[in-house]
């Protein structure tokens, strides 16, 4: 007993102070929102689009990166002979609409706006989520789980993962939605009482991730389930997930958004 108390004392208080203070520093190689410097692009060059493993880069006149598909690898940046693509350390990536996930040169990302007033009054201070793992690799699940550890303490925002969809205000979906999980996902969604929200976490749930177009899966959340929040990444950093949730609930301090 005394050992446990001593250990407790020694381990100290470890919950990060974000969002009251700025987010903790991310490592040098962290890959957040990609930056495209189209002024460096050479006419006719398609190196980035031709290298991307999952066709997340589209070129019409300039390259655009679909963050919903992006795996945040460095394949496009490494392939570009002009070094026109780089990754910033900006972890804020969540959006409300699928179309908002397109990164174009020089344009700001339309980060997620808060829920409307009615839903915010219902869920703003207490949001219970049922997570459904619908065919991924367990990395998104792992970094969703991290938010419940003492380092992040998701509970302080009134957000909690619950065991039953009957107890939930919404579902948080990870995975590309395999044929074998499709029914279970639809059933779980149906079991949540309305009004309910849906959060798609990770490249798989948004667009199929590395498994896009495999016949054994459905390229992410089906259209019959309307998504309220898209959190891109493969997997998204816990900060990216938390930032998205707090934006949705309008829980970020005004300054430093």
Partner 1 sequence: MADTSFTRMWNGEAIPLERAARMHLDKFLSSIVEGVARGWRLSSLFAQEACDGEGLELVALLAEDARAALHVGIGHVSGSAFPSITPLCPQAHLFEREIHEQSGLIPEGHPWLKPVRFAAPWIGNTGASASPRPSIGHAEFYSVEGDEIHEVAVGPVHAGVIEPGHFRFQCHGEKVFHLEIMLGYQHRGIEEAMRGGPHRATLRQMEAIAGDTSIAHTWAYCQNIEAMASIHVPPRALVVRGMALELERLANHTGDLGALAGDVGFLPTMSFCGRLRGDFLNMSAVLCGSRFGRNLLTPGGARFDCDARATADLQNRLEEAERDVRQAISLLWTTPSVQGRFENTGTVSRKDCVDLGMVGVAARSCGVEVDVRSTHPTGIYQFTTIPLATAHYGDVNSRAFVRWLEIERSLVFLRERLRTLPQGEIGAAPAPLAPNTLAASLVEGWRGEVCHVAITDASGRFARYKITDPSFHNWPGLAMALRGQEISDFPLCNKSFNLSYCGVDL
Binding site for partner 1 (CB under 8 A): 3-4, 7-8, 10-11, 14, 26-31, 51-54, 71-74, 87, 130-146, 148-151, 161, 163-165, 175-176, 178-181, 184, 188, 209-212, 214-217, 234-235, 237
Interatomic CA distance for residues 123 and 172, integer angstroms: 14
Interatomic CA distance for residues 158 and 232, integer angstroms: 23
Burial grade of 29 (CB within 10 A; 0-12, 13-18, 19 or more): exposed
Residue pair 129/174 in contact by the 8 Å Cβ criterion: no
Query: What sign does the CA torsion over 170, 113, 107, 237 have?
Result: negative
Task: Report, in Å, the least distance between residue 216 CB and partner 1.
Answer: 4
Pick the closer one to partner 1 by CB: 72 or 157. 72
Pick the closer one to partner 1 by CB: 134 or 229. 134
Pick the closer one to partner 1 by CB: 53 or 226. 53
Pick the closer one to partner 1 by CB: 5 or 255. 5
Task: Report, in Å, the least distance between residue 64 CB and partner 1.
Answer: 19
Task: Report, in Å, the least distance between residue 4 CB and partner 1.
Answer: 5
Contacts of 148 (CB under 8 A, 6+ apart): 154, 155, 161
Interatomic CA distance for residues 102 and 100, integer angstroms: 5
Task: Report, in Å, the least distance between residue 244 CB and partner 1.
Answer: 16
Interatomic CA distance for residues 95 and 63, integer angstroms: 20
Task: Report, in Å, the least distance between residue 254 CB and partner 1.
Answer: 29
Pick the closer one to partner 1 by CB: 96 or 169. 169
């Amino acid at each position: 007993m005394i050992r446990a108390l001593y250990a407790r004392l020694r381990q100290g208080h470890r919950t990060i102070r974000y969002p009251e203070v700025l987010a903790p520093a991310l490592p040098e190689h962290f890959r957040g929102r990609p930056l495209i410097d189209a002024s460096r692009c050479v006419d006719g060059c398609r190196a980035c689009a031709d290298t991307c493993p999952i066709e997340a880069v589209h070129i019409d006149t300039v390259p655009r990166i679909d963050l919903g598909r992006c795996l945040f690898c460095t394949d496009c940046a490494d392939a570009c002979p002009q070094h026109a693509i780089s990754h910033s350390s900006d972890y804020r990536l969540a959006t409300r609409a699928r179309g908002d996930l397109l990164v174009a040169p020089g344009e700001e990302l339309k980060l997620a706006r808060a829920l409307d007033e009615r839903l915010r009054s219902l869920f703003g201070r207490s949001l219970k989520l049922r997570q459904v793992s619908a065919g991924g690799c367990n990395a998104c699940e792992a970094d969703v789980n991290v938010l419940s550890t003492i380092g992040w303490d998701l509970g302080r925002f009134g957000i909690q993962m619950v065991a039953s969809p009957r107890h939930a205000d919404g579902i948080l979906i990870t995975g590309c939605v395999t044929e074998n999980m499709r029914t279970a996902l639809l059933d779980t969604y149906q079991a949540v009482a309305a009004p309910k929200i849906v959060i798609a976490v990770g490249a798989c749930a948004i667009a199929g991730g590395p498994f896009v177009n495999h016949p054994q899966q459905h390229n992410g959340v089906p259209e019959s389930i309307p998504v309220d929040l898209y959190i891109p990444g493969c997997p998204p950093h816990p900060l990216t997930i938390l930032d998205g949730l707090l934006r949705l609930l309008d829980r970020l301090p005004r300054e430093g958004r």
